[in-house]
Every structure is written in structure tokens, then in C-alpha cells.
């Protein structure tokens, strides 16, 4: 976890599910607490995050993790780009992409040049793709099950309709699919979709809209999302989750039978919803619990096991 400013902490999970502090690491640079700006390497050995310098994001840092979860080996890579948002690391562990927050035309590909140290290599640019303005700052990107496609939450900074942008990817380029995006909702700027998550089967994708959570089917061959909504259910916080300052996250049980959604609202109405998923990928109304009030950012992760 990132515990304020530039302090990182790792915890060990005990057999009874409780957590014990393992390591506190103070980095030389301050991370940016925006979803989509941190990523773990698939090997679990490295942790990457964007760095905030003044009013722009200009570099990425890497920390190494040993088998006990101890951080070390900080290394900083200057990008030369302002306002970059880090996408997820490709499932092969070979590279990650960055996006300019306000321009889909600026996409950089950073190779992970050394699997032993996690060192980042010289990037290449894919500046030819100018499909649509992509604003993933408050949303994020996820890969398909076969890693051939990338889906990004387009948080509609220009007040256009929020959407999921869908792309095919290789190690050095990406190209939009047809259609290039799937409309999620017609929100005020910045409000939808806030988060997306892929079902473990790869057959369904779920989007956290302005007031509802939507389920869609995904074509396993073409990667294209079917724009017909499979189901639509209210968010756990209802109308209180419509502000762009609220925290909204999704996670799915590894068995694929339950979706979890959190709403941490600025008005103190904070809820966690458990949404059953049927065999057709459709969501049912949730069971809600109230979670502690907080003024800080909160993420939602599912830890496998009992």
C-alpha cells in the first residue's frame, strides 16, 4: 500500500487472514495516487508507479520486491512527457504502455529490458492512432484473457458520452477496433465510466457508470464488446457516487460468481456492494454493507483464499 506522500508499506497475510506489517520503504520521489498509475509485474518481483513533479507527470519509478515482500532497488525513468498515465503491464511481463491524459494520439511503449532487475528500456511511440480523446485518469485499462486486446475506461473529460475504448495490441503498437468504443452512459464530464473489470472467463466486462454498473459480453475471437447491455444494476452508493471526487472500484471473485463494488463518497455515504453473477454474466441486485468513513483514496482488491 502507499501510505501518504512517498512511503510504501508491505504486509504479510497470516493464516487467519489478518495482516502484519513487513516493510516500510521511503522512496526518493512522490507517487501519484491515481488509479491506473501503479502496476505490479506479473512475476510479482517489481512494482512500477508514476511520479509527480510539480504540476505534471514526467517519470516512472520501479521498486523491487523479494519473496517476503520487502521493497528495495528504487530506479527512476524520465519520460519527457507531461501528464502521462501508466497502463497495466502486459501479461507477458515484457512491456507497458503510457497514455497522455488528454490525447489518445500520444501513446508510448516501454519495454521491460531486464527480467532480473525490472529495468525499463528505451520507449517507442505509437503516435499515429488518433481515434478519440482518451481520458483514463480516473478509470483504467485492462487486457483481455488472451492479452491480444486492451480495454480502457474513457472518462469523458470533454463532456462527451463516457465509453470503453477497445484496441488490439502488439509489443510496439496498438490500433482501435471497429467500433472503436462502446457507450456506457451519457454523463457529465469525468463521471463515467469510472472503473472496468473483466470476468475471469474473459467472456464479460463490467463498467462502473455514473449511476449504474453495466455488464457486456465480449467476443473471444475479435475482442469486440457487444454494445447490448446484458444487465444494469444500481451502484452501491446510488446518487451519492456521481461526483468525480468519489472513489469507485470493482473487483471479481476468482470463481467468477460475485462482483464487488465500492463507493467512498465525499458526503460520508460509503458502501460495499456484493453483486451475484449468473452463468450468463448478468448481475443481480447487491447485498450492501456500510464501510468506515474516510477522506483518503481507497482501492478494492480481492485476496484469494479463506
Q: Which residue segment(s) compose the domain that 49 sits in?
A: 1-130
- The verdict on 183 and 92 lying in the same domain is no
- The verdict on 234 and 303 lying in the same domain is yes
Kindly indicate the confidence band of residue 130, based on its pLDDT and cuts at 50, 70 and 90.
very low
Kindly indicate the confidence band of residue 258, based on its pLDDT and cuts at 50, 70 and 90.
very high
The residue-averaged pLDDT of 91-110 equals 72
- The verdict on 63 and 172 lying in the same domain is no
- The verdict on 105 and 207 lying in the same domain is no
Given 65, 99, 130, the domain boundary residue is 130
Given 94, 114, 130, the domain boundary residue is 130
DSSP string for 187-245: PSTT-S--EEEE-TTSSEEEEE-SSEEEEEEB-TTT-PBP-S-SEEEE-TTGGGG-STT
Q: For position 136, what pLDDT does the model report?
A: 59
Compute the distance between CA of residue 251 and CA of residue 246 in angstroms, rounded to an integer: 17
- The verdict on 257 and 225 lying in the same domain is yes
- The verdict on 119 and 167 lying in the same domain is no
| Cβ pair 28, 72 in contact under 8 A | no
Query: For all residues of the chain together, what is the average pLDDT?
Result: 76
- The verdict on 161 and 240 lying in the same domain is yes
Q: Is the pLDDT of residue 122 over 80?
A: yes
Which residue is associated with the grid cell 531486464?
Answer: 114
- The verdict on 46 and 91 lying in the same domain is yes
Q: How many domains does the chain have?
A: 2
C-alpha cell of residue 178: 471497429
Given 107, 130, 153, the domain boundary residue is 130
The CATH number of residue 217's host domain is 2.130.10.10
Cβ count within 10 A of residue 257: 12
- The verdict on 211 and 119 lying in the same domain is no
- The verdict on 125 and 145 lying in the same domain is no
Q: For position 306, what pLDDT does the model report?
A: 45
| pLDDT, tens only, 289-303 | 887 665 554 555 555
| pLDDT, tens only, 21-49 | 888 888 887 766 554 577 888 888 898 88
Q: For position 240, what pLDDT does the model report?
A: 64
- The verdict on 57 and 78 lying in the same domain is yes
| pLDDT, tens only, 157-188 | 555 567 888 888 876 666 767 667 777 765 55
- The verdict on 251 and 159 lying in the same domain is yes
Q: For position 299, what pLDDT does the model report?
A: 58
Q: For position 128, what pLDDT does the model report?
A: 47
- Burial classification of residue 147, based on how many CB atoms lie within 10 Å of its CB (0-12 exposed, 13-18 middle, 19 or more buried): exposed
This prediction has a pTM of 0.82
Amino acid at each position: 500500500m502507499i501510505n501518504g506522500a512517498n512511503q510504501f508499506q508491505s504486509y504479510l497475510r497470516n493464516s487467519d487472514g489478518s495482516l502484519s506489517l513487513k516493510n516500510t520503504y521511503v522512496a526518493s520521489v512522490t507517487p501519484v495516487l491515481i488509479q491506473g498509475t501503479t502496476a505490479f509485474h506479473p512475476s510479482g518481483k517489481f512494482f512500477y508507479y508514476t511520479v509527480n513533479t510539480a504540476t505534471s507527470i514526467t517519470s516512472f519509478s520501479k521498486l523491487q520486491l523479494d519473496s517476503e515482500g520487502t521493497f528495495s532497488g528504487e530506479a527512476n525513468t524520465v519520460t519527457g512527457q507531461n501528464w502521462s498515465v501508466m497502463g497495466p503491464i502486459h501479461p507477458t511481463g515484457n512491456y507497458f504502455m503510457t497514455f497522455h491524459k488528454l490525447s489518445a494520439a500520444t501513446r508510448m511503449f516501454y519495454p521491460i529490458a531486464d527480467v532480473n532487475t525490472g529495468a525499463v528500456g528505451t520507449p517507442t511511440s505509437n503516435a499515429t492512432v488518433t481515434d478519440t480523446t482518451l481520458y483514463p485518469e480516473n478509470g483504467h485499462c485492462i487486457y483481455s484473457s488472451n492479452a491480444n486486446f486492451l480495454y480502457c475506461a474513457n472518462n469523458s473529460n470533454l463532456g462527451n458520452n463516457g465509453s470503453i475504448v477497445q484496441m488490439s495490441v502488439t509489443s510496439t503498437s496498438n490500433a482501435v477496433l471497429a467500433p472503436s468504443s462502446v457507450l456506457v452512459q451519457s454523463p457529465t464530464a469525468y463521471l463515467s465510466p469510472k472503473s472496468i473489470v473483466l470476468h475471469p472467463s474473459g467472456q464479460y466486462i463490467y463498467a462502473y457508470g455514473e449511476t449504474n454498473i453495466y455488464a457486456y459480453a465480449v467476443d473471444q475471437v475479435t475482442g469486440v464488446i457487444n454494445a447490448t447491455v446484458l444487465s444494469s444494476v444500481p451502484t452501491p452508493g446510488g446518487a451519492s457516487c456521481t461526483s468525480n471526487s468519489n472513489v469507485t472500484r470493482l473487483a471479481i471473485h476468482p470463481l467468477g460468481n460475485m462482483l464487488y463494488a465500492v463507493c467512498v463518497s465525499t458526503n460520508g455515504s460509503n458502501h460495499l456492494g456484493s453483486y451475484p453473477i449468473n452463468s450468463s454474466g448478468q448481475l443481480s441486485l447487491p447485498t450492501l454493507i456500510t464501510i468506515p468513513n474516510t477522506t483518503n483514496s481507497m482501492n478494492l482488491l480481492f485476496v484469494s483464499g479463506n
